[in-house]
Amino acid sequence: MTHAFARALALLAFAAAVPLAAHAQAAAFPNKPLRINVGASAGGGTDVVARIFAEKMGQGLGQSIIVDNRPGAANTIAADLTSKAPADGYTLLMATNSPQVIAPHLMKLGFDPLKQLTPLGMVVMVPHVLIVNAQNPAKDFRALLAEIKAKPDKLSYASSGIGSVQHIAGELFMAASDTRMVHVPYKGSSQAHSDILAGQVDLMLDTTSSAMALIKAGKFRALAVTTPQRSSELPDVPTLAELGLKNAEMSTWYAMYTPSETPAPALDRLVSEFNKSLQLPEVQTRLRALGGTPSTLTREQFVQLQAADYQRFGALIKQRNIKLD
């Protein structure tokens, strides 16, 4: 065998081995635990949804998935960490409208949520519900509205942070009802709930996914929902539109992301396991129990929805002159 012929055989063997090695590497994903970053505190709606998917996707992937709560900064801390994480498929993000399409209009971010984070898909769409302490004298929405109107800038409403979906829902409510309240931001819904229960804050326009457990426990009174239709889990609670308050509609979507440069083999596996988890009857039941509607959107349809919401919330924030200070 000549030296040239032997060299040619070696090159052919190397060329054949490269795709095999790449295939083996892709097939090995994942070979260690994954992490889901959450921009809200433990016990909040985003945390609840993240833990559902950590359990089910972990089973499908054959690896444990750790939920890492990083509340604060309008829920953008977790999104920022995820955007800067190695794009290897091991870091995920469970996020809402807040860091993805609201916060960019309110603060200077160190990342671009539309370019540096790619969605696996949307999980669920949930309404907001106007809640008060169950001991609040206002037994219905009209009684509460009368009190808010009679006491401008006296009553307070909680949110899970400046620029959060609850904050924006409060701004929408005040614009639609021509009222003024004091905004009290927290680092997450669970902290806000504690102060509502303690009587330190008057009300909140929280997501049903976050507030439902305390509503069902009889600790919160639900006075209205902010969607066009009533919630299937709160059929006796009227919509704001039914009560005569127009232009106050607000919903929150939850979606899962990973860094945009994640290699296709890992991304495809994640998307596949995400979709399998979402379609599980148990997961569908748990999402509906939170008052939400499980998503039926494709990834492409969700990308379009996200882009449209980015424009819609940007216009609202400008119109209302909403500032972080």
Q: What is the pLDDT of residues 135-162, one digit of tens each?
A: 999 999 999 999 999 999 999 999 988 8
- pLDDT band (50, 70, 90) for residue 319: confident
Average of per-residue pLDDT across 103-115: 94
Quote the pLDDT of residue 10: 54
Would strands 293-294 and 91-96 be described as parallel, antiparallel, or unpaired?
Answer: unpaired
pTM across the whole model: 0.79
Distance from C-alpha of 68 to C-alpha of 251, rounded to nearest angstrom:
25
Give the tokens for residue 115: 């370019």
Q: Give dist(CA 240, CA 224) in Å, integer.
A: 6
pLDDT at 5: 53
Mean predicted confidence (pLDDT) in 268-278: 98
Residue 220: alpha-carbon gap to chain centroid: 22
Of 205 and 312, more confident: 205
Higher pLDDT, 302 or 209: 302
Flag whether pLDDT at 168 surpasses 90: yes
| Residue 121, beta-bridge partner list | 256
Weakest-pLDDT range from 23-27, 209-213, 233-237: 23-27
Mean pLDDT of all residues in the chain?
91
CA 237 to chain centre: 23
Report the distance separating Cα 193 and Cα 204, nearest Å. 9
Please tell me what DSSP assigns to residue 168: H
Q: Is 49 helix (H, G, I), strand (E, B) or coil?
A: helix
* Residue 23: predicted pLDDT: 47
Provide the 8-state DSSP code for 152: T
Which of these, 70, 68, 67, 81, lies nearest to 109 by C-alpha position? 81
Which of 24-33, 40-49, 307-316 has the lowest average pLDDT?
24-33
**Taking residues 112-132, what's their average pLDDT?**
96
CA 25 and chain centroid, separation: 32
Q: What is the pLDDT of residue 291?
A: 86
Residue-level pLDDT at 232 = 87
Q: Given a cut of 60, is residue 1 above it in pLDDT?
A: no
Could you give phi then psi for residue 153, rounded to 5 degrees?
A: 60, 20
The mean per-residue pLDDT over the stretch 55-75 comes to 94
DSSP secondary structure letters along 75-95: THHHHHHHHTS-SSS-EEEEE
The pLDDT score that the predictor gives to residue 22 is: 42
Q: CA-based angle 70:72:77, to the nearest 5?
A: 55
* H-type alpha helices, the chain: 3-27, 45-61, 76-83, 97, 113-116, 141-150, 165-177, 189-197, 208-216, 264-279, 281-289, 299-320
Alpha-carbon gap, residue 234 to 253, rounded angstroms: 18
Quick one: pLDDT at residue 20?
Answer: 46
Of the candidate ranges 28-32, 154-158, 186-190, 262-266, the one whose mean pLDDT is the lowest: 186-190
Question: What is the distance of C-alpha 18 from the center of its chain?
Answer: 40
Nearest-angstrom CA–CA distance, 67 and 289: 21
Q: What is the C-alpha separation between 15 and 99, in angstroms, rounded?
A: 45
Q: How confident is the model at residue 48 (pLDDT cuts 50, 70, 90)?
A: very high
